[in-house]
Amino acid sequence: MRGTQHLETRLVHAGEREPVSGARATVLPIYASSTFVQPSAAELDRAFDEDGLVYSRHANPTVSGFEAAIAAVEGAVGAVAFASGMAAVHAALLAAGTPRGASQPQPCAILAAQDLYGASRTLLRQFFEAQGWPLTFCDMTDLACVEEQLRSQPTIVFLEPISNPLLKVCDLPRIVELAHAVGARVVVDNTLASPIVLRPLEHGADLVVHSATKYLGGHGDALGGVVAARSHLLHDTLRRYAKLLGATLGPFEARLLSRGLKTLALRVRQQSANALVVARWLTTQPRVRQVYYPGLETHPQHRLAAELFGGLFGGLVSFDLEPATPAAAYALMDSLELILPATTLGDVYSLISYSARSSHRDMTADERRQLGIGDGLLRLSVGIEDVRDIIADLEQALQRVA
C-alpha cells in the first residue's frame, strides 16, 4: 500500500520504524518515542503485563539504559529514574512505606535526619506528616539519639550520609544495623556522596536516592532523579508508582545523564582532590571563621569518613565567614569572578551558594540556628578547574569582603 500513499500520509510515516540492518550505535540512541509498536496485538498485550515496551511512562529504552547503569554502579537489583531528585525522594518514601504484600503506601512513622536537604524536609512536613505519617527528626551523627528514637519502631529511616550544608558524616553501617533490628527500611539520599564516595547498598541500605541533576549528570544540563533498590519487591513497587505518579525521566535527559555517568569517577576524584586543597587553604584565611570538610583532620567525623569513603571526601566545602552576616556573604558572592553563584552542586564548574537563602530558605531563622546554619555560612561545590584558579578567585573575593 506504501506506493499509493498520499503526500500527507508519507510526511508522517516515511523514514520511521525502518529496521536499520547492521547499524550498531556505540552508545544507546535517544528513543524519542512516547509509544512503541509491537509485532502483533498479542505481543502488545503481553508487553503490558511484562513491563515491556508499550509506552514511555512505563519504559523507554534510553531511560532503561540509564537505570541499568545506576543499578550496576550502586549494586542494586534495579533502579527507576524520575524527572527530578524530588520526584525520586517522594517515590522512594512511598515505596518504603508500602508494607510487604500491600499494593499501596500506608501512613507509617518516619525517622528522618535533621540535616536533610531543605526541600526534602519540607516534603516530609507538608506532604507526609500532613497526611498522617508520624515524623521525628534526629541528629544521625548522634548514635545514642538514633537508638533512643528507634525504640518507637519507625517504619522508615531517611538520611543523607553527608549532610547539607554542614557536611556531617553519619555511621551508616551502624544505623542500618540498628534500624533493621527494629524492622525499619533505610532510605539513603546519596546525592552529595555519589556512588564513587559511598555505595549505601553495600552497607545494607534498602533504597538509595540520587538527585541525578548533581554529580551523576555533572554538567548542569539536565534535571533528573533515580532510586536504586536492594530487593525486587521494592524495585517493582517503585516502577508501579513511577507509572502512576508520572514524574518519569525523558529520553533526552536520560541520554545526557548517561553521558555524564561515564566520567563520574574521574570528576569526583578531581573534585575531591581540589576540595581538600581548598578546604586546607580556607582554614588559613582570617576572613574565615570555620571550615567544614570531612577530609580535614579537625572534622568531628574525619576518622569515620576516612573508613567509609575509601580516601575520598567529596567535592563540597562549607565555611563560615567573619563577620557572619548576610552582607558579608553577598559581598563575597558578588566579588567572585570564576566561581558561579548558583543553586546547585556537583557540576564540573565551581559553584557557591548561600544556604540560608537557597537550600534552607523555607526554614525560620531559629530552625536554621538550631541546625548550626549561621548567617555567614557558604557552601562551595568545588569543580574540576585548576585548583590554583579556584583559590585565586576566593582570595580576591575574600579581600573585598574585608
User: Of 220, 228, 229, nearest to 259 (Cα)?
Assistant: 220
Binding mask of the shown chain, residues 95 to 124, with x at each position contacting ligand PLP by CB under 6 A? ----------------------x-xx----
Size of the site for ligand PLP (CB under 6 A): 16
**Using the rule CB under 6 A, which residue among 56, 60, 64, 84 binds ligand PLP?**
84
CB of 402 to ligand PLP, least distance (A): 31
Cα 309-227-137 angle, rounded to 5 deg:
70
In the complex with ligand PLP, which residue's Cβ is closer, 120 or 237? Answer: 120
Between the CA of residue 375 and those of 91, 115, 337, 368, what are the distances in Å? 33, 17, 22, 9
Q: Is 117 a catalytic residue?
A: yes
Binding mask of the shown chain, residues 298 to 337, with x at each position contacting ligand PLP by CB under 6 A? ----------------------------------------
Q: Is 386 a catalytic residue?
A: no
Residues 221-240 that bind ligand PLP (CB under 6 A): 223, 225
Choice among 189, 206, 347, 375 that is catalytic: 189
Name the grid cell of 296. 580535614
189 binds ligand PLP per the rule CB under 6 A: yes
In contact, 118 and 363? CB cutoff 8 Å: yes
Q: Among the residues of 168-263, which ranges form H helices?
A: 172-181, 194-197, 232-245, 251-261
**Using the rule CB under 6 A, which residue among 56, 114, 213, 381 binds ligand PLP?**
213
Residues 6+ apart with CB under 8 A from 218: 260, 263, 264, 267, 346, 347, 348
Q: Is 320 a catalytic residue?
A: no
**Partners of 210 in the β-ladder:** 226
In contact, 136 and 152? CB cutoff 8 Å: yes
Query: Strand ranges (DSSP E) for 272-361?
Result: 288-292, 316-321, 340-341, 351-354
163 binds ligand PLP per the rule CB under 6 A: no
CA distance 252 to 111: 36
In the complex with ligand PLP, which residue's Cβ is closer, 225 or 315? Answer: 225
85 binds ligand PLP per the rule CB under 6 A: yes
Which residues contact ligand PLP by CB under 6 A?
84-86, 89, 117, 119-120, 160, 164, 189, 191-192, 211, 213, 223, 225
Active site (catalytic) residues: 57, 117, 189, 214
